[in-house]
Amino acid sequence: MPNRRTETRHATPGNTCNHFQKYGMTCDDFDRLLARAAGRCELCETPEGETPRGALVIDHFQGDGLFFVRGLICDRCNSVMSRHDRSAAWGPASLPWADKARAYHLAAFEQPTPEEFEQADRYIASRRTYNVKDRHYIPVAPRAALVVRLDRSMTEAARKLRRHLTDRQRARLIELLSRPL
Ligand SMILES: [Zn+2]
Ligand SMILES: [Zn+2]
């Protein structure tokens, strides 16, 4: 059985390979993946040394109980795949890669069954991508210091506080003022 002590071929001495620790992939499987990628990003085909970080990463799909390694890709394509998986919304830079991302997904290294691919698609479709427009509006307290003169009318002080505090801050202030000393 492959274990932490046997799967060490691609790690520094005394360590277990990352592909085994994080993805449960044996050294033999990882060698097959390296051979398939042949030194290039499997999505955009950029040679490893010319990719933004100069290194390829293991990409996997995860969700709804599914977990499978798809391949070796560059950082840029990793973010394209997060669009494919709908954990982020497509943008002008990623959209031209949509078809290639799809083909790459379907050519996943750890070949899932057709049923598992369908399950993955249902899961992806059920996801709601994060969109700034949908963000719940949270009032932000003004950054500038607020000076309230207490040697003047209390009505004026209250009016000023009401204008500058959020509902939550106001409620908290009332609560604090109502506490026995
Ligand atoms: Zn290894
Ligand atoms: Zn790439």
Q: Which tops the pLDDT comparison, 117 or 169?
A: 117
Q: For position 149, what pLDDT does the model report?
A: 84
Q: Which residue carries 């290194």 as its tokens?
A: 55
Give the list of residues 6+ apart from residue 43 with CB closer than 8 angstroms, or none. Answer: 71, 73, 74, 77, 80, 81, 97, 100, 101, 104
Q: Where are the domains of the chain?
A: 38-134, 141-181
CB-based contact 106:42 (threshold 8 Å)? no
How far apart (Å, rounded) are the C-alpha atoms in residues 53 and 38? 17
Cα of 38 to ligand 2 centre, how many Å?
13
Cα of 87 to ligand 1 centre, how many Å?
29
Q: What is the pTM of this model?
A: 0.71
- Report the SS3 class of residue 142: coil
Interhelix angle 98-106/75-84, nearest 10 degrees? 90
pLDDT band, residue 138 (cuts 50/70/90): low
Mean per-residue pLDDT over the chain, rounded: 91
Q: Which tops the pLDDT comparison, 2 or 165?
A: 2
Segment (H or E) for 67: strand 66-73
96 alpha carbon, distance to own chain's centre:
20
Query: In this model, does residue 75 exceed pLDDT 80?
Result: yes
Q: Which residues surround ligand 1, an ion (CB under 5 A)?
A: 9-10, 17, 27, 30
Could you report the per-residue pLDDT of 3-57, keeping only the tens digit for each?
A: 999 999 999 999 999 999 999 999 999 999 999 999 999 999 999 999 999 999 9
Q: For position 37, what pLDDT does the model report?
A: 98
